[in-house]
Amino acid sequence: MKMELIQPFINAADAVLSQGLQGSTKVGNLTMEEEAYRRKGVAGMIALTGDIEGRIILDLEPQTAVKVASHYAGTELPESDALIKETIFELANQVVGNAISALNDQGFHFRVHPPLLLTSEQGDKTSEDTEALMICFETSLGNVFMNVALRYNRKRLSDHAAVGA
């Protein structure tokens, strides 16, 4: 997978987590995943289609999600499925929104689909040209995992090239 596709997502996640949680965020392990995605906690997925295709998964332990939500609200919030889902979706939207802003300003256009909750333990296996990168962000409130699997849409890119030629 091309690093220039992934870097905006790493930068965005780093910015969202460190600004939102007002603490330093450390980028921990980076691993390539060729096998099917294995959920760690509660995971939200956002799909992208267009010049770049694929998906981004944000995965948090439920307790970490509650701590994040409580931090944002400025008060201790009780754990609930709705709160956990809401927290993960908003974080995922912010990360993807920031990343696609950077990519869009570079000329890439795509559609961002609404977040989905991943309920199965295991996701789809990645294909040859969309192997996934798993990044662990270590924050003061717990680890946040981001799994990015993206590829260029060759047809769209060649269409652009043909129009530009």
Summarize as ranges the residues that interact with another protein (CB under 8 A).
15-16, 19-20, 69, 72-74, 83, 86-87, 89-90, 93-98, 100-101, 104-105, 112
Q: In this structure, are residues 141 and 68 in contact, taking their beta carbons and an 8 Å threshold? A: yes
Closest CA to 14 of 124, 111, 102, 122: 102
144: left (phi over 0), alpha (psi -120 to 50) or beta: beta
Residue nearer to another protein on the CB measure, 32 or 73: 73
Least CB distance from residue 101 to another protein, whole Å?
Answer: 4
Task: Give strand pairing partners of 30.
Answer: 135
Least CB distance from residue 73 to another protein, whole Å?
Answer: 5
Strands 116-118 and 42-50, how do they pair? antiparallel
Residue nearer to another protein on the CB measure, 95 or 144: 95
Residue nearer to another protein on the CB measure, 93 or 143: 93
Residue nearer to another protein on the CB measure, 18 or 143: 18
Least CB distance from residue 165 to another protein, whole Å?
Answer: 24
Least CB distance from residue 114 to another protein, whole Å?
Answer: 8
Q: Cα–Cα distance between 144 and 15 in angstroms, integer?
A: 13
Residue nearer to another protein on the CB measure, 55 or 71: 71
Q: Cβ–Cβ contacts within 10 Å for residue 150, how many?
A: 23
Least CB distance from residue 124 to another protein, whole Å?
Answer: 25
Q: Cα–Cα distance between 77 and 151 in angstroms, integer?
A: 38
